[in-house]
Amino acid sequence: MQTRRTVYFNAPRQVEVRQEPIPQPGLGQVLVQTLFSAISPGTEMLVYRGQFPDLPVDASIESLEGGFAYPLAYGYACVGRVIQTGPGVGAEWQDRLVFSFQPHTSFFTCEPHALMPLPAGLSPETACFLPNMETAVNLVQDGAPLLGENVLVFGQGIVGLLTTALLAQFPLGSLVCVDLLANRRAAALASGATAAFDPCEQYFKQQAQQLLGSGADLVFELSGAPQALDQAIALTRFSGRVLIGSWYGTKRAPLDLGGSFHRSRIRLISSQVSSIAPELSGRWDKTRRFNLAWQALERIQPEKWISARFPIAQAAAAYELLDQRPGEVMQIVFEY
């Protein structure tokens, strides 16, 4: 019997690659053989470390229904090729390169509506960045930067870098980025940031203020570290906006809201990609946003940030690397 390999999180810091029967496509389904899947470091590290809250995984994605509980097959960035079509599926799907929100697995079945064909000329590795690019597009739309604004971005992981690359296409006053890791700061500068700082440097706030003037008009908190939110608020000017795209899971940190924040009229904005902002929903839907994300991938070509490729059989080693030595990696993809 032919089998597929699927990654399961069994407990905190316990990853298993299971052998399972390859599913056969039923009525209205296709069978896809995965070529690559990308780890989404922020979210998947919460699952790996057991820091997820008691919430549904993602009700907007069919393959991720249910709650966060071990054992859990997780992931949502698979690119593969349709190798078999079931009854009722048009022949045009056969052999197509497609993207789908699926856990890390070497074969999967689904209905065609859960697939997105890759644009002509786009590599499968670049297509793996689609979920994070959609997130970056959503963040920028929710932040709504204005001409000449000073913008600050905390966190230059993949979502942060994609957000920075999009913001760099705006005529901003300044675009300042913050990250603990030197390789990420270098990537931010290469993507168009005005400056990139280490938040642990002694004079970080003074250096940032020199570029931000009275403070940032718009701040994106994308670091995944709750304590960074306090720094973000402190560097925001009167009536500025702080957009929180990080998912902290069960992590907590105190906020200093008893000082200047009380009189600053700063707005804290929650942003998450599974929905469209209410003020945009009359004109935007998921299809329009995905089309924009595909175009952004073609312009930015984030494949350059893939720093490690692991065979799916070595998934445990990939997560251990991300957990223990994050400074050595930018983006990890699994090869099948």
The full DSSP string for 150-216 is EEEEE--SHHHHHHHHHHTTS--SEEEEE-S-HHHHHHHHHTT-SEEE-TTSTTHHHHHHHHHTT-E
Is residue 100's pLDDT more than 90? yes
How long is the chain?
Answer: 336
Q: Which amino acid is at 201?
A: E
Nearest by Cα to 161 from 131, 180, 186, 128: 186
User: In terms of residue numbers, what domain contains 232?
Assistant: 132-270
The answer to whether residue 248 scores a pLDDT higher than 60 is yes
Whether residue 196 lies inside any domain: the answer is yes
Do 116 and 145 fall into the same domain? no
Are 164 and 192 a contacting pair, CB within 8 Å?
yes
- CATH code of residue 10: 3.90.180.10
What confidence score (pLDDT) does residue 52 get? 82
How far is Cα 81 from Cα 84, in angstroms, rounded to an integer?
9
Is the pLDDT at 215 greater than 70, yes or no?
A: yes
Confidence at residue 1, expressed as pLDDT on a 0 to 100 scale: 65
Q: What share of the chain in percent tops pLDDT 90?
A: 82
Task: Answer yes or no: do 103 and 227 share one domain.
Answer: no
The mean per-residue pLDDT over the stretch 180-208 comes to 95
CA–CA dist 47, 66 (Å, integer): 14
How far apart, in whole angstroms, are the C-alpha atoms of residue 7 and residue 102? Answer: 11
Q: Which position has the token pair 């251990």?
A: 320
Question: Could you tell me if 32 and 152 lie in one domain?
Answer: no
Looking at the domain assignment, is residue 280 inside a domain? Answer: no
Same domain, 94 and 166: no
| Same-domain status, 91 and 62 | yes
CA distances to 81, 213, 232, 314 from 7, rounded to whole Å, are 19, 48, 36, 10
Same domain, 56 and 175: no
Residues 322 and 258 in one domain: no
The pLDDT value given to residue 309: 97
Does one domain contain both 253 and 180? yes
278 domain-assigned: no
Q: Which of 220, 254, 270 is the last residue of a domain?
A: 270
pLDDT of residue 125: 97
For the full predicted model, state whether its pTM sits above 0.85.
Answer: yes
Least confident of 53-57, 175-179, 186-190: 53-57
Together in a domain, 206 and 236: yes
Question: Which residue, of 270, 285, 315, is where some domain finishes?
Answer: 270
Q: In which band, very low, low, confident or very high, does the pLDDT at 175 lie, cut at 50, 70 and 90? A: very high
Count structural domains, the chain: 2
Domain boundary among 270, 289, 322: 270
Shared domain for 59 and 23, answered yes or no, is yes
Q: Is residue 243 part of a domain?
A: yes
> Rounded to an integer, what distance in angstroms lies between the CA atom of residue 56 and that of residue 9?
16
pLDDT at 99 over 70: yes
Predicted local distance difference test score (pLDDT) of residue 180: 95
Is the pLDDT confidence value at 58 over 70? no
Q: Report how far residue 24's alpha carbon sits from residue 27's, in angstroms, rounded to the nearest whole number.
A: 10
Q: Is residue 43 part of a domain?
A: yes
**Do 8 and 79 belong to one domain?**
yes
Judge whether 87 and 48 are in contact, CB under 8 Å. Answer: no
- Planar angle of CA 250, 219, 166, nearest 5 degrees: 105
CATH code for the domain in which residue 216 is found: 3.40.50.720
Q: For 121-144, how does the pLDDT look when each residue is reduced to its tens digit (9 = 90+)?
A: 999 999 999 999 999 999 999 999
Asked if residue 172 has pLDDT above 60, the reply is: yes
Q: In terms of Cα–Cα distance, which of 225, 221, 229 is closest to 257?
A: 229
Of the chain, the percentage scoring pLDDT greater than 70 comes to 96
Residue 296, domain member (yes or no)? no
Neighbour order of strands in the sheet with 3-11: 14-21, 3-11, 72-73
**Sheet containing 195-197: which strands, arranged edge to edge?**
195-197, 174-178, 150-154, 216-221, 236-244, 267-270
Asked whether residue 32 falls in the same domain as residue 68, the answer is yes
**pLDDT bucket at 199, cuts 50 / 70 / 90:** very high
Whether residue 333 has pLDDT greater than 80: yes
* Averaged pLDDT score across all residues of the chain: 93
Would residue 295 count as lying in a domain? no
Report if residue 82 sits inside a domain: yes
pLDDT for 254-296, tens place per residue? 888 887 888 899 999 999 998 999 999 999 999 999 999 999 9
